[in-house]
A and B are shown apart, each in its own frame.
Chain A
Amino acid sequence: MVDPANTVGIPVNPTPLLKDELDIVIPTIRNLDFLEMWRPFLQPYHLIIVQDGDPTKKIHVPEGYDYELYNRNDINRILGPKASCISFKDSACRCFGYMVSKKKYIFTIDDDCFVAKDPSGKAVNALEQHIKNLLCPSTPLFFNTLYDPYREGADFVRGYPFSLREGVTTAVSHGLWLNIPDYDAPTQLVKPKERNTRYVDAVMTIPKGTLFPMCGMNLAFDRDLIGPAMYFGLMGDGQPIGRYDDMWAGWCIKVICDHLGLGVKTGLPYIYHSKASNPFVNLKKEYKGIFWQEEIIPFFQNAKLSKEATTVQQCYIELSKMVKEKLSSLDPYFDKLADAMVTWIEAWDELNPPAAAAANSKA
């Protein structure tokens, strides 16, 4: 069994890295009590709260946090008709937070995720680890058997080509979860008591050409480099599918990162995931996804972006065309999704005009 860390008494981080360059995006429909525990590590940072569900409900943000909060009314007001691309009654709505942020980096975390302990019992500053992951290169072109070669105490192994040792820029840092693992509904039903107690002390780059299931519970990325591709799709209310928002984004960003020569890392940091959602509810949401992913995966594995697609937006629009062309026959949902992907990019570009983006990236 594992427990979360007790962070009482830990002082607020006096030297928070990238304090003014990072936003923390949190989707919530319940409350933000979990932020009490995260104070030492997250309080110095600006929060973007995306309130899902009933907009009249008042979400209390713990004292001391600097934040902006958007409910459904705000989303509709800001995006107008384009708000149709933002999911309702699903944590996929969090991607609205990515769109309105003006920062270079995003850290997103679920409201049932607490601070984990490392094997020595020390509280894990997940955000700090994500930042380290993002600030140092990735190595997608050749696998290093000692994992992250830039880490203290590690290096490239014998035989690793010297020409590849500078690595590429890291766009995404995907963290993991102790306690309740991110299982799908069938696995949850078969293993309701299984808890992840294994702390694997490694960060590694996912090789180019390899897809992975990206979980949005504990995730950080460089918004300038990959933000427009972090659309979490059409899920929840009025949609035939749920719990595939982050998966969809993960497949899109990986194809685009591979195309643009950016890196995606996975591994540390761990957070402590406290809540197991209802597996029967999950099964209803995921059901179609379980069948659809059998087609979707080969689609992404074979997706080839053109040489002319040199920006994330261009890549994403190309991808949306391919989705329309190749996946609509699977279900009309994908036709809608392809349109929503375009709407998302239009909304992104409206809220993030190029001049502002250039200014951001210089910061």
Chain B
Amino acid sequence: MSSDEINKNEVDIVIGALNADLTPFLNTWKPFFSGFHLIIVKDPDLKEELNIPQGFDVDIYSKIDMEKTLGSSDSAMFSGYSCRYFGYLVSKKKYIVSIDDDCVPAKDPRGFLVDAVSQHVNNLERPATPLFFNTLYDPYREGADFVRGYPFSLRSGVPCAASCGLWLNLADLDAPTQALKAEQRNTSYVDAVMTVPLKAMLPISGINISFNRELIGPALVPALRIAGEGRVRWETLEDVWCGMCLKHISDHLGYGVKTGLPYVWRNERGDAVESLRKKWEGMKLMEKSVPFFESLKLPESAVTVGDCVVELAKAVKEQLGSDDPAFTQAADAMVKWVQLWSSVNSSG
């Protein structure tokens, strides 16, 4: 699918800048970012000036913009990997595509570079099918369809809220796993897009993700921060928590979440063993989160995304707040986020 076939005006590519020099990253992606509007958000804790090459239609946001919007000098909500959420907040487009700055375009098995942006947007534009599993995966794809036994009433699908891509080379494994399997690289190109079924939970990675901002925007919450959170993915869970919320809200509102293509090629950064040295809070928090989300039922009265986030935050505070202060902070951040979202986007 070429990028000519999607409407570039409906897309913002949001990049969180945790490192100052974005030149190699942006230049490598140029063939696929060209013609799109880019929002680059600088990590408020990054001191150096950003280095951005010519030839891109880009708006840059930094700590000053965050403070103006927040009305305070506390931009901790957007620190580190969470800086990209500020981009989600201020975007005016329908679709957002977000890729970590240590990723480059991958090659498919035929040797062609993968246009991750187009694939994501195509995933978002085609319906999702969370209510019944299609064994041939994406039924709307060229050369595929619904299989025998798939109920006809479910074949129009539901709107797709998010498209989660994957990673060749350095997969998104946690620190203990990567440290144990130091040489392991993901070489398996699985040629499929599929909808994650209703009620199934999954760990959504922020490394290569896109979503329908108009449909689900406020549900991507910059909320859970683990103690000693760092600037490598092994030391954060913000995207995984965000993903659990996003999936639950999508399920509640009747939207779908897809996973699979596109792949990006992820490069080395950081040291898994180093990351292991930090007391790995994330593990404990995930263990507590799973039974919470499994039994959670949002009230029927929560019909907007904002409502859902607020109700979810309430439940987090009530049921998980006493387990760990990180959850209370997450709940507060979620409420603050919804307020911020309404005030910034009140005109549309």
**Interface stretch among B59-67, B91-99, B142-150?**
B142-150
Give bound CA distance, A337 to B233, whole Å. 54
Contact residues on A (Cβ < 8 Å of other chain), bracket: 35 or more
Query: Is the CB–CB distance between A194 and B200 below 8 Å?
Result: no
Within 194-209 of B, Cβ neighbours of A (below 8 Å) are at 196-205
Which residue of A164, A187, A206 is within 8 Å of B290 (Cβ)?
A: A164
Q: A67 near B: Cβ within 8 Å? A: no
Query: Is the CB–CB distance between A293 and B190 below 8 Å?
Result: no
Which residue of B136, B188, B233 is within 8 Å of A201 (Cβ)?
A: B188
Query: Is the CB–CB distance between B149 and A155 below 8 Å?
Result: no
- B298 CB to nearest chain A CB (Å): 17
Query: Is the CB–CB distance between B201 and A154 below 8 Å?
Result: no
- A283 CB to nearest chain B CB (Å): 12
Q: A159 near B: Cβ within 8 Å? A: yes
Query: Is the CB–CB distance between B197 and A163 below 8 Å?
Result: no
Query: Is the CB–CB distance between B133 and A212 below 8 Å?
Result: yes
Find chain B residues with CB under 8 A from A194 CB: 143, 145
Query: Is the CB–CB distance between B149 and A244 below 8 Å?
Result: yes
Query: Is the CB–CB distance between B237 and A201 below 8 Å?
Result: no
Find chain B residues with CB under 8 A from A73 CB: none
Query: Is the CB–CB distance between B203 and A158 below 8 Å?
Result: yes
Query: Is the CB–CB distance between A145 and B145 below 8 Å?
Result: no
Find chain A residues with CB under 8 A from B304 CB: none
A145-B202, A159-B237 known; A198-B186 Cβ under 8 A: no
- B216 CB to nearest chain A CB (Å): 19
Query: Is the CB–CB distance between B145 and A187 below 8 Å?
Result: yes
A142-B290, A147-B190, A176-B136 known; A157-B203 Cβ under 8 A: yes
Find chain A residues with CB under 8 A from B259 CB: 143, 145
Query: Is the CB–CB distance between A153 and B186 below 8 Å?
Result: yes
A183-B147, A215-B148 known; A201-B191 Cβ under 8 A: yes
Find chain B residues with CB under 8 A from A159 CB: 174, 203-205, 237, 239-240, 243, 282, 286
Within 250-287 of B, Cβ neighbours of A (below 8 Å) are at 259, 282-283, 286-287
- B148 CB to nearest chain A CB (Å): 4
A157-B203, A194-B143, A297-B132 known; A201-B190 Cβ under 8 A: yes
Find chain B residues with CB under 8 A from A153 CB: 184-188
Give bound CA distance, A147 to B193, whole Å. 12
Within 154-209 of B, Cβ neighbours of A (below 8 Å) are at 154, 164, 166, 171-174, 177, 181, 184-192, 196-205
- A76 CB to nearest chain B CB (Å): 30
Contact code string A144-157 (vs B, CB < 8 Å = 1, else 0):
11110001011111
Contact code string A197-227 (vs B, CB < 8 Å = 1, else 0):
1111110001111111111000000000000
Query: Is the CB–CB distance between B188 and A293 below 8 Å?
Result: no
Residue ranges of A at the interface with B (Cβ–Cβ < 8 Å): 119, 141-147, 151, 153-164, 174, 176, 181-184, 187, 191, 194-202, 206-215, 243-244, 246-247, 250, 266, 286, 290, 293-294, 297
Residue ranges of B at the interface with A (Cβ–Cβ < 8 Å): 109, 132-137, 143-154, 164, 166, 171-174, 177, 181, 184-192, 196-205, 233-234, 237, 239-240, 243, 259, 282-283, 286-287, 290
- Top 9 A-B pairs, shortest CB-CB distance: A213-B149, A159-B203, A159-B240, A207-B200, A143-B202, A210-B197, A212-B133, A247-B149, A184-B148
